[in-house]
Amino acid sequence: MAVKQKSVMAGSDAPAKGDKPPETPLTRMLKRIRRTEEFPSISKYLVEINQKLSLCQEASDASDLANLILNDYALTNKLLKLVNSAYYGLVAGKVTTITRAVVVLGYERVRLATISLALLDHFQGKAHTADLKETLIASFWAGVVAREIAGSDGTIDPEEAFVCAMLSQLGKLVMVYYLPDEYQKVVDWVAAHGHSEAKAVKAACGVTYEALGTAVAGQWNFPDRICEGLQPLTPDDWRGRRKAPTQLRVVSGFVKALGQLIEQGELTGDDRKWQTLLDRYKDRVKLSRRKLQTLVLDSIDSVRRHAQALNFSIENSAFIQHLARGCETAQAQLPDVKAEASLLPESHSHQLTDGLAFKEESGDPAALSPKDVILAGIQEISEAMMADYDVNDIALMSLEILYRALAFHRALMFAREGDGRMMTIRFGYGHNSGELAHKVGFQVPSGRDLFNLSIASGKDLIVADAHDDKTVRLLPAWYRTHIDAPAFVFMPIKVQNVCIGAFYADRHQAGQPVSEEAHRYLSMLRNQLILAVKYRQGSK
């Protein structure tokens, strides 16, 4: 009986058939993070960018990415400031629209730049916490250095290297930001046991920073190559017992190891520290000691300039102080680059500039008036026109300028279909614009509604109260059903007396949608688009 009873009791301790396995510490952490107030919003934003656009670039146009970015006014201005810097030297100081940034730089570069800015903005919100701020600065520094290494490597994309290296500390950022109690356990464990932080987080919380960061990056739909790049390099990787790690993972690991030496204050002018790190990665990272020291030395100014553009203070940062001290001896061993540069003859036709220096003359996009935005946009359209841009891209730029300059609720571009009988919404910015594109339109001519009257007369339609009884009777059913904005402006675009399309923009409150002065500048913007269309027709 005793044996039988023991058997029954043993069976009762085992999980019943069909029971879920016990949750791991990582699973529990991810559940808690998802329940926090801020995580869903940043997740939705990053998933949209990563999933929709990285998988469907062929089916998307520049307005898809621009639409996501333009929803965040602060992010839009920071991205334009970044694009207009010497960081992107070929277009520095010339780009006033996200649309043109996408066209000039390409989807991937703008997408990755947007992701890095969005992440920095998100974590910067609580950067008054000392450890979070230090981790954020170290992450940003890692991205800057990885980008420079990738630029000379030639086998990986510099922007991708920037994001991957910046995300190498995502696990720690997430824990400090969302799980402060768990992070305090790690701090206490280090103090009590003298372990390294990597060992302490595993002992105190049952996870590694890398596992947590990779899991969150996966939830945000980062590409597999980025998630793989976050994995630490193991002895088996170096011994060739596994598939060779990607170059993206190697560069990210190298920069992370370099950053850890800096954080611990171990990277001094002692050449042995630099050389030991280089020897470990020598088969995959082709850098001389001197070149690495120069790169690290230059990174201080690069991070400072970048941080200034993002309104992020790095003053009194322990990481930057360790970095500066580590470079002191190295700097004494290097040639005085600034002194050598001063020996060059002065010239107005060329200049030497830091890699990430922001042009002061380009100004802060957030400080520009509506008039300035429109006039700058007209100049940009002129340059795009002479550079043989596609008319659709120029039309997108025009609509974005209109949308941004006057902060409309929504802006749409109507275009006449091939048979000439239908005017449909081709693309748009703002509320619900994606759903309306290619689905909403009207016949031309089809009656005496306000839109057809505007087209027939060639005059702009400005409606201050679309819900007024007299006005409602003149608005077509398609408009009341699908848009029904309280106030809007409709501006036909005519080429040789034929209406080929129209600007439309609205507001979510009744009242004059545009002032007389703003209307004049919008008319100039439309005329520039018409000129671009005529130029294209004449060049065919």
Q: List, for residues 154-181, the tens digit of each pLDDT value.
A: 888 888 899 999 999 999 999 999 999 9
Q: List, for residues 84-135, the tens digit of each pLDDT value.
A: 776 665 554 578 888 888 877 777 788 888 888 888 888 877 655 788 888 9
Cα of first residue to Cα of last residue in the chain, in angstroms, is 98
- Tell me: pLDDT of 365 over 70: no
Q: Could you tell me which residues come within 8 angstroms of residue 435 by beta carbon, excluding any fewer than 6 positions away?
A: none
Class (C level, CATH) for 367-539: alpha beta
Q: Tell me which residue has tokens 């203070």.
A: 313
Q: Could you tell me which residues come within 8 angstroms of residue 5 by beta carbon, excluding any fewer than 6 positions away?
A: none
Quick one: fold of 25-336?
Answer: Hypothetical protein af1432 (1.10.3210)
Nearest to 178 by CA among 72, 31, 50: 31
pTM of the complete model: 0.71
CB 385, CB 531: distance < 8 Å: yes
Q: Where in the chain is the domain with CATH 1.10.3210.10?
A: 25-336
Q: Where in the chain is the domain with CATH 3.30.450.40?
A: 367-539
CB 465, CB 435: distance < 8 Å: no
- Tell me: pLDDT of 59 over 80: no
Q: What is the mean pLDDT of residues 52-79?
A: 70
Lowest mean pLDDT among 93-97, 317-321, 377-381: 93-97
Tokens of 89: 């030297």
Q: How many CB atoms are closer than 10 A to CB 251?
A: 26
Amino acid 128: pLDDT:
59
Q: List, for residues 487-506, the tens digit of each pLDDT value.
A: 999 999 999 888 999 999 99
